[in-house]
């Protein structure tokens, strides 16, 4: 019996898939089809797959051509499958020509001509119009955002808004954008959605204007420094059927998503304590981070990350919030702050600093064990679930590619396309974060160390 194997995502089953499966089957007597698992697709940068793994397996099943369907979960699995299933022929489309020659050591490798004019990517794009997204701001993060957006299909970033024409010109040339605007209304008229990456204190005004003219908003963290303002932005968005999301990149990272679901599954028992730290030592006091008038300081700059994981796992209704902080005499901003959030059954501590350095890890402790995320935990790609019995430790790894902004962009796009708010970073969490920052700035329950 001749055994043939082929692999694919098989998203939105199309004629190209059916043709290759038919021709692969015709090369032997038994056809094995490997369908890519969700984690594997994410780890190889395929972020826009529309259908779930179950649906995609059903797609392959419905062709009636596969004798066996398996799931491809990791790079390098093909060699194992070929040996395990005694495969004679490996088949793949001609778009992969040469890429799988290394399998010739194990079986025959056949590249079949790809069916012209159709692909899952085209189908996904034609189901939804390409989202035209404009960037508000031309600073460091805006640059990274534009670069990362190239990894997400279904979105075009062509315009940037800012004030300084010279900087804007440089920005569009460097990043290959269409044009820039210094007039916000004209800029808004060109786009369906905006990404706001300007100093915190300006977020509210620019996000509000965009929402009022029917544009979706992805807003850098912190969305605002006021509970009321954040509530208002969500209200305008909700009333207008628009999406507004806070761009805390950690929230959208595939490994972080897994971490949250594992923690919530009860694997470490009842969560009692979270300790999360983010420090970024900044020496240059002329930078925005040290400008009190622009909302600078450790907590406003970095607090969103550790506070977010605490909110995600312990909730948004602590009984008591207390701050311990140290203020820089010269600039009047906090150079380190500790926020202690006391809940009925648990406690969370967020540590941040632009004037101190500390191990940037996160530890989630429960009654049965703990989850350890090494520094830099906010670029989550690895964590361990540890128990008293060292033999039981579980290690989880999932890529966090480059700057990791592609995951938040993909999630934002998906929320718009399916018209459903993301569960990864929600309204209550954004309002909660704004409230914590606002109370700190209003000096509520703040203890000072000199
Ligand atoms: N394939 C093909 N002809 C097409 C599309 C795909 O022969 N027009 C083949 C691929 O070469 C691969 C298999 O079908 O061997 C599964 O491909 P998959 O990646 O699932 O399909 P694509 O349409 O290429 O998906 P995407 O656009 O997401 O890359």
> In terms of domains, do 147 and 279 share one?
no
Cα of 27 to ligand 1 centre, how many Å? 18
Q: How far is ligand 1, taken at its centre, from the CA of residue 70, in Å?
A: 17
CA of 10 to the centre of ligand 1 (A): 7
87, 112, 137: which is the final residue of a domain?
112
For ligand 1, atom 4, the nearest C-alpha belongs to 16
d(CA 166, CA 244): 30
Domain that holds residue 189: 118-247
Same domain, 129 and 182: yes
- Kind of pairing, strands 244-247 and 334-342? unpaired
Co-location of 255 and 243 in the same domain:
no
Same domain membership, residue 234 and residue 258? no
CATH of the domain at 167: 3.40.50.720
Q: Are residues 139 and 278 in the same domain?
A: no
| Boundary-marking domain end, from 228, 247, 266 | 247
Quick one: 394 and 260 in the same domain?
A: yes
Asked whether residue 24 falls in the same domain as residue 171, the answer is: no
104-152 pLDDT, tens digit per residue, is 999 999 999 999 999 998 888 888 889 999 999 999 999 999 999 999 9
H-assigned helices in 119-275: 120-127, 140-149, 165-175, 184-189, 200-212, 227-239, 249-252, 254-264
Distance in Å, CA 59 to ligand 1 centroid: 13
CA-CA distance, 160 to 317, in Å (whole number)?
Answer: 38
Compute the distance from residue 57 Cα to the ligand 1 centre, in Å. 15
Region for residue 264 given its phi and psi (left: phi exceeds 0; alpha: psi -120 to 50; beta: otherwise): alpha
- Give the position, in ligand 1's atom list, of the atom nearest the Cα of 11: 20
90 and 22 part of one domain: yes
Which residue's CA is the nearest one to ligand 1's atom 16?
A: 8
Q: Is the pLDDT of residue 223 over 90?
A: yes
Number of domains making up the chain: 3
pLDDT of residue 279: 98
CA distance 186 to 90: 54
Alpha carbons 101 and 297: distance in angstroms, whole number: 54
Pick the atom of ligand 1 nearest to 112's CA.
7
Q: What's the CA gap between 109 and 7, in Å, rounded?
A: 13
What is the distance between the alpha carbons of residues 92 and 71, in angstroms, rounded to a whole number? Answer: 16
Residues 90 and 123 in one domain: no
Ligand 1 atom, smallest distance to 48 CA: 28
Predicted confidence (pLDDT) per residue in 346-363, tens digit: 999 999 999 999 999 999
**44 alpha carbon – ligand 1 mean position (Å):** 15
Residues framing ligand 1 (Cβ under 6 A): 8-11, 16-17, 20, 92-93, 95, 114-115, 118-121
Structure pTM? 0.85
For residue 42, the model assigns a pLDDT of 82
Same domain (yes/no): 161, 257: no
CA distances from 65 to 59, 81, 115, 447 (A): 11, 19, 18, 69
Task: Give residue 113 CA to ligand 1 midpoint distance, Å.
Answer: 11
**Distance (Å) from CA 61 to ligand 1 centroid:** 16
Whether the CB-CB separation of 194 and 158 falls below 8 Å is answered with no
For residue 10, which atom of ligand 1 is closest to its CA?
A: 20
Could you tell me what percent of the chain has a pLDDT over 70?
A: 100
Task: For ligand 1, pick from 16, 21, 100, 112 the residue to mutate: most ligand atoms within 8 Å of CB.
Answer: 16
Least confident interval from 27-41, 116-130, 271-285: 116-130
Q: What is the CATH number of the domain that holds 395?
A: 3.30.360.10
- What's the pLDDT tens digit per position in 224-268? 999 999 999 999 999 999 999 999 999 999 999 999 999 999 999
What is the reported pLDDT for 23? 98
For tokens 């990864």, the residue is 424
Q: How far apart are CA 353 and CA 276, in angstroms?
A: 12
pLDDT at residue 124, as a whole number? 85
CATH of the domain at 87: 3.40.50.620
**Is residue 222 domain-shared with residue 258, that is, in the same domain?**
no
CA distance linking residue 43 with residue 445, whole number of Å: 43
Among the three residues 94, 112, 130, which one is the final residue of a domain in this structure? 112
Shared domain for 148 and 133, answered yes or no, is yes
């Amino acid at each position: 019996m001749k055994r043939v194997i082929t692999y694919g995502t098989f998203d939105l089953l199309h004629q190209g898939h059916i043709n290759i499966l038919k021709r692969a089957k015709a090369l032997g007597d038994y056809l094995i089809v490997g369908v890519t698992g969700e984690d594997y697709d994410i780890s190889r940068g395929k972020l826009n797959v529309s259908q779930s793994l179950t649906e995609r397996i059903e797609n392959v099943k419905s062709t009636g051509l596969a004798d066996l369907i398996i799931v491809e979960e990791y790079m390098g699995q093909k060699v194992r499958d070929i040996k395990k299933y005694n495969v004679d022929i490996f088949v793949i489309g001609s778009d992969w020509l040469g890429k799988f020659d290394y399998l010739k050591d194990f079986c025959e490798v056949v590249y079949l001509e790809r069916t012209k004019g159709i692909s899952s990517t085209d189908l996904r794009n034609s189901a939804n119009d390409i989202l035209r997204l404009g960037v508000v701001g031309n600073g460091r993060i805006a640059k990274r955002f534009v670069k990362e957006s190239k990894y997400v299909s279904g979105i075009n970033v062509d315009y940037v808004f800012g004030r300084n024409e010279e900087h804007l010109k440089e920005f569009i040339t460097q990043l290959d954008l269409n044009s820039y605007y210094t007039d916000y209304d004209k800029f808004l008229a060109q786009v369906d959605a905006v990404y706001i990456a300007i100093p915190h204190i300006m977020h509210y005004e620019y996000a509000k204007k965009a929402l009022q003219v029917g544009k979706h908003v992805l807003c850098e963290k912190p969305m605002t420094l006021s509970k009321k303002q954040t509530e208002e932005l969500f209200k305008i968005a909700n009333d207008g059927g628009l999406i507004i999301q806070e761009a805390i990149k950690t929230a959208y990272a595939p490994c972080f998503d897994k971490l949250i679901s594992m923690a919530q599954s009860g694997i470490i028992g009842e969560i009692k304590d979270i300790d999360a730290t983010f420090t970024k030592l900044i020496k240059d006091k002329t930078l925005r981070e040290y400008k009190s008038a622009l909302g600078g300081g450790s907590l406003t700059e970095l607090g969103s990350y550790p506070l977010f994981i605490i909110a995600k796992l312990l909730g948004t209704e602590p009984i008591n919030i207390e701050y311990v902080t140290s203020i820089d005499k010269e600039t009047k901003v906090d150079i380190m702050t500790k926020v202690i959030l006391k809940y009925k059954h648990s406690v969370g501590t967020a540590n941040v600093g632009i004037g101190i350095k500390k191990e940037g890890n996160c530890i989630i402790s429960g009654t049965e064990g703990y989850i350890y995320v090494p520094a830099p935990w906010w670029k989550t790609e690895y964590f361990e679930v540890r128990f008293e019995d060292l033999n039981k430790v579980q290690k989880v790894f999932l890529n966090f590619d480059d700057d990791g902004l592609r995951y938040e962009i993909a999630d934002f796009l998906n929320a718009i396309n399916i018209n459903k708010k993301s569960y990864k970073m929600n309204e209550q969490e954004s309002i909660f974060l704004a409230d914590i920052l606002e109370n700190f700035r209003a000096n509520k329950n703040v203890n000072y160390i000199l």
